[in-house]
Structures are given as C-alpha cells and as structure tokens.
Structure 1
C-alpha cells in the first residue's frame, strides 16, 4: 500500500491507453471527447446545486444536496482521468478516484434512504389547497367579527355624542390629581372658551378660600373610598324630607357702595335632580363606551395575532414546494386582510382617545419647518404621484397650537390631497396662511387647496365628509377617520373648519384657528 500511494502520480509500469490495443483515431477520440463532455457536465451540476442551496437555505434535506453534489463531482473526475489516460497512464490515481466515487455513491444512497420517510410526509397539492381553504374560512370569520365590533362602536360613539351635547348641564371630567381632561359642548358654549383655554386649569382653583379645606378633604375622601363627593348639605338635610335630591346653588354678593364690604348674598337654589340623574346615566354610558372600546381593541388583538401566526405557519408549510399562482395570490390577500384588521384595531384606540381628548401644551410652531417634516414623512406618496407642494406662509409663519396636533392636521390634509388626485393631471397642493381679519386680531387661517377630484357638496355630503368612518370616495383605500380627527382637533382648540369644492376641479379646506390668549401680567 505504501508503494501504491508513493507512486500515485507515477505512470511507470503502465502504457498509455493509445498503446493498449488497436485504437483507431476515430475510436480513440470518440472515447476522449465523450469522457470530456461527461466530465464538463458532471462538474457543472455541483456548482448549480451549490448556487441553489446557498440562495434557498429554507429548502429541506440540504445535506442530501451536498452529498449528491460530491457524488456527481467524483464521477466527473473519473471521466476526466479516463480521457487523460490516453496520454498519461495514471491508473493508480484512477483507482483511488473510483474508490472515492464508490464511497460517495453509497453515502448518497444511505442519506436518501434516511430522508425518504420524511419526504413522503410532505404535503400534496390537495393538502395545501385544503389548508388554504381552512385558513381563508378562519380569516373570513374574524373579519365578520371585526365588522360587528366596529358597527357596535360607531353606535355607542354616536349615542355618547348625542347625550353629552343634548344635556343642559355643564359637564366635565377630572383626573385623580384634579386636572380636568374633558368638557362637554355646553361648557364651551357657556364660557366661550376653547379646550386650550381651559385644559390646564385645576378645578380646585375655582373653590372659594373659605371652602377650600373642607372641599379638599371631601375630594381626598372620595378618591380613597369611591363615595360620591359632597361638600355642603347638614342644614340642607334638615330642610329636606329625607329624599336626596340634587340642587344647583348660585349666589352673588351685594357690596356696600361706601365701604365696598359685602352686605348680603343673593342666590338661587334650583332643583336639578332630573338632570343630574341624566348626567349619571351619561357618565355610565361614557364609562361603558370607553370600557367597550379598550376591551374590544385589546380582545381583538389576540385572535388577530393568532390568525397572523397561522398565516406565517402556512407560509412555512408551503415554502418547500412550488406554490401555484392562485395560492400565492390568496396568501397575499390574506396578509393584506390581517394588516387591515390590525390597522382597524389601532383606529379603534385612536377613536377612544378622541372621546377624552387631552390637548398638549401650545407653543409657537414654525409652520414651514413642520410642513417640511410632514413632506418628508409623505415622500413615498409624493414620489409615486409626482405631487407638487406650494408653500406660502409668510403672512403667518408661526402658529400658536399644540405641535403634535398641528402635525396630525397637516399630515391628513396633504395625504388626502395626493390620494384623491385627479387621474388626468399631476397633483398640486397649495398650503398658505393669512390673518383671519385686518383688525389686528392674532387669529389666523390655515388653507390647504388641491386640484384633485373635487366633490359635489351639499349639507348632507359635508356632514358625511367629516363623519366618523364615513367616506365619499370608495376607490381609494382609507379608514374614514382622518377628516373626523382634523375637525375634532380644530374644534377642541376653539377653531372651526370650512370646506369648499368643485367636482372635477379641486377642494379647499380653511381652518380658522383661534388667537392665543394674552399672557397674564402681574399687578403691582
């Protein structure tokens, strides 16, 4: 054996194949050319297999591919050496290559026998079609459930809005620290102030100093025990017949003209029991609505995540085999449906937040910089549509507003202008600001104009335009939430929104933003 390996590349002792037997040129070259062609094919196959398994690492049984490639490579090497032996009789090396080829061959056979039971477990096209149908049925059921929840949410939201705006009382909500987080419409109508004007006011600031200690103690007791907050009422209890009824008490002082001292108080005591019962019912409905929205959005996340996991599992099951075109289309549609479900859940949460909108602190916002940030966010949409943005804010370059809310308003209006573009022309959007009047008022108008599809607007269409989950154009995918949020943000800041539009020519949105309150100056 030592002699064999030491002379592995030594042709001595063996004649070249041309000299063994009576080879004709045709016969010899027939062997040589055939062996070289077989060798070249055998060498090409392993490289193709290597490229395939390097790009498709998810393919099962990749070890079998490696063994098969080695087997083919060894076979090719023997054919190459067979061609060379016509001139260089390396019969020892040829024998060693034959042994390597034999080992690789049986190794491949052994590996193939090992994976054959697993290969037989691969799903057939019929199995895959059945899985797709089952998953599609599950998604359809989840979609139906989501639509029912959304319909219930719209109904409860409309009920809540109707009750709060119809009641005659001034209603508000406060957090445990006393900070007010929500007012009803009657409060705004009565005071003439916006949420920005009222949002940061702590209700304790309105308590008379003589009553503050008792009121604060009662407030802390109510927080600790959950009992109703009452600050007056032994003399009232003695005057009553035992039935607890709500009253509205108002009083104004009458001053002595000479000294300015309070001479007496004049007041009224109005029975508001029926209205208070209605208020309590309203608070219950509001609490139920908030609980329903948050519970719905939370509970829906689990089935949606389960469906998403099932879809990913289905993709993994389909990965080892070629997927028919119609199955691939179904998978894409299913993925899109799951994404839309997740988006709707997010929208439910946003709607819930609007019901107790808490305005962020206002600041002087650099409008040009903010619009540029929004334009960068919408850069893919501008690029896809070729949209052009024309900015003219020199007249009012800075607006006093909650920055995050103003960004949301601009984002919604610009994205809508591009999404609802006219198919026959390049979309163009004009964003401009100007003073609301020439009398020196600091209120301003933010105007967004486009050359898009436009609308035929009547009173009903305008109400629907700003309605929750309402849409006037159905050919573009959307949630019907954007303009609803824009209107709520502007109105909660004490402003108002106008719209004018011409069908086929474009739309203009005008946001009348209130002037900021002047800073309070200390006296002295």
Structure 2
C-alpha cells in the first residue's frame, strides 16, 4: 500500500509511526503551559493540526473498519445502558443508592462518547475535543470510585434475597401467632365477661334466699337453746348454719367482684385504732377456726385513716388463708408497724406450704389458684384479688414473700 500524505499547517508531511518527536517529560517552562491551555481551548474544534486517522498510519480497510465499527458498537451499548438505568430510577423510587446510579449514568455516557469520538476521528481529527471529553470522563470516574468506596459498608449490609424471604416468612409466622394470640385473648375476655355476668346474676339472685335461710337458722338456734328436748337436732342446725355462713361469705365475695368490675367499690374512711381492729378480727377468725395460735405485735396506739370494714376484710382474708394452708396448732403472726410518710404496714406470717416463686406474680389475679392446692383446698380464687383491689383503692401496696424455708408472709401498706 502507498504511503498516505496529508497537510499539516499547509506543509505536506508523511504520516507514519511518528509524526513529531516529543521529549519526556514535556517542557512547560517560560509560560508555555498557560499559553498551551489558551491555545487548546481556542482551537478546541480546530482539526487543521492533524490529518484524519485514515491518513495517519498504514490502515488497511479491514483494520480501520474493524476499529470504527467496534467503537460505534461500544458507544451504542454505552448509551443504551444509561437509558435503562434511567428507566429503573424513574420506575422504582425505592431503589437503594440512587445517587451512585446517576454517577454511573454520567460515567458510562462519557465513556461511550470517547469511543464515538475515536470512530469519528478517522474522518474528523478533533483530538482536542476528544482529550477534553476524556478529562471529564476521568474526573467523573474518580468521583464514582470515591462514592462507591464510601457506599461499600452499606452495600455489604444489604440483605440477600434469601435473607429477605426468610425475614418475610418470619414476619408471616409472627403475624399468624399474633392473630392466634388475639383470638385466644378475645376468647379469654369473652369467657371472663361471661363469668362476671354469671357472678352478678348468681350473687344477686342467691342473696335474698340465702339471707332468708340464714335468718331461719338463727331462729332455730335460739329455739334449740331454750328447749333441751330438741338437743338431738342441734348439731345438724349448727352444721347447716356454718355452711350457710360460708355460702354467705362466697356470695359477698361475688358481689364485691361485681362492684369492683363496675368501678363501684366505695370506701367509707375514718380514723381508727388498727391494733384494736386486728385484735377483733383475730378473735372473730379464731372463733371459726380455733386450731391455730395467733399473736399480734405492734404499737397499741397506731391509728390509720381508712375504711374499717374493708381493711378488716383484707386482714380476715389473710388469716383465713394462713389457717387454711398451714398445719393445725402452728403459729400465725400478725405484725403492725409504722413505715415512711405516716403509713402503716400490716403483715400476716404463717408456717404453711408456701407459694412457688413462679406463682407469686399471679397470686392476686382473679380466679387464680395454685395448681397443686386447687383440688385439696376449697375456694374459687377471689379473696386475694378482692384484697388487692381494696388496698389499691386506698392507694396502698400489697404483696407476698417467703417466710423463711416454710410458710408465707402476706402484707399491705396503707
């Protein structure tokens, strides 16, 4: 093939392996750099200093068109990729790290432009424009690398598709369990509401006939006391009277729960000697039980401002539990002492079977009974619940602790 010849600055030159001899490093002395920069931008689109690439070097048609078509194909792909990325960003607003995608779009567009110019230079030798585009490409490439490096920790933390699917499944299971729990809770609430309704109806409906029966038994007891000939039936009347008293106490508890649930638990507060009240309560409870020794310790002059009957009810409940769950002829201790802010603490300690630690948190719940005692001892699990509500209505505290290795201490502060 013949050597290709072109004009550079209107001087015929032969283009071959090297058109000019350049020294390394370049010489920018004596203001040459500034001068060259000004000249560069002044002649940005001027192509007179170079021949077209077709005419610079010994290009065969196959080699030249292979170069050109490859650059055009790369340019087409580089322009298609940003277009697709732009569509992704436009359609999916939730895509992570959108800013880095915009940098990629700019970087890929400029890379594609360099390949397009490389192909055009075969006819239009715009080497200055090509160099400027490459500078912009280099700048945005560096920024992209820096931005991507800063995002690496967040990218590493991105969860895989399997992890996301596992999380979705876990959430589905949690939601299903939550729905199941809600169904159980609703069923429990409905059951409790039905219990409350039953208690309200039963207590009110039973109150009148029980009162009538109790009054009749009291009349019979007075008659028996005056007639020795009827002594043979006296034990049966006394036994019936005792059971009626238990039934009356149960109905009173049901009525108290009904009032508490309706927010109608009323207090009639007054100042009274709590030691005297405790002594009377102990005497009353022992008259029914008579199998335990009870001691009372405390200042005999302690007074409290509270509802006498309700506090008596709480203490009576504590004593009844102590008698019920401790062996016969054991000691039950009632202790009354002043605490901070003018309050008084009353406790009842027994030497009974105790309460497991895992049951203490629920001991004051409505209808709660410890499993291993529910069949052996009578009761429906309302006494301590009512006691806790009475103390709460007084703005006090109630609790239970162990009494050493054996036994329990129930206490309240008001």
TM-score over 0.5 (shorter chain)? no
TM-score by length of 2: 0.41
Higher gyration radius (CA): 2
- Structure with greater proportional helix content: 2
TM-score by length of 1: 0.33
